[in-house]
Amino acid sequence: MKTGTLLEASGCGTCLGDGEGSVQVRMDTGPKAGTAKVFAVYGKGGIGKSTTSSNLSVAFSKIGKRVLQIGCDPKHDSTFTLTKRLVPTVIDALESVNFHAEELRVEDFVFEGHNGVMCVEAADRRRAPAAAATS
């Protein structure tokens, strides 16, 4: 079974897009994690990044790929879609052990979602812009 990683990013102030309202998906040619493939989905708000990344994650899992979805949206849209619950963030997990990372276990911040897609939530809801936190 090959390994794959799908990254979802809610906004990228320095990203160049194809036009108004486009969803950007690209393979990251930078960091390598063994044979893992890294994809980033980015673009302006409200254009379906979380929906697209969640669906791609499930599609890859259904063809036998191991997938890790890393959510970066303060609303937790992509990880919520996959797990059907608000999962603790990496910061939540670190706070629970008084920021002693050596005390963390993988299961403290990695959660299984639909069809075995593993999910990590990186964004902190408490630091979300007011409009994002309430919509």
The answer to whether the pTM exceeds 0.85 is: no
- CB burial of 12-44 (b: ≥16 within 10 Å; e: otherwise) equals beeeeeeeeeebbeeeeeeeeeeebbbbbbbbb
Q: Binning pLDDT at 50, 70 and 90, where does residue 36 land?
A: confident
Residue with tokens 């899992």: 61
Count other C-beta atoms under 10 Å from residue 72's C-beta.
23
Mean pLDDT confidence for 12-21: 45
| Cα distance between residue 83 and residue 5, in whole Å | 17
Does residue 104 sit in helix, strand or coil? coil
Task: Report the percent of the chain where pLDDT is more than 70.
Answer: 67
pLDDT digits (tens, 9 = 90+) for 89-122: 999 999 999 999 999 999 999 999 999 999 999 9
**Which distant-in-sequence residues (6+ apart) come within 8 Å of 117 by Cβ?**
57, 58, 61, 67, 68, 69, 82
Say what the pLDDT of residue 68 is: 95
Domains, the chain, ranges and CATH? 3-11+22-134 (3.40.50.300)
Cβ partners under 8 Å of residue 92, min gap 6: 109, 124
Let me know if 125 is exposed, middle or buried by CB neighbors in 10 A (0-12, 13-18, 19+). middle
Rounded mean pLDDT of the chain? 78
Q: Is the pLDDT of residue 23 over 70?
A: no
Mean pLDDT of the 3-19 span: 44
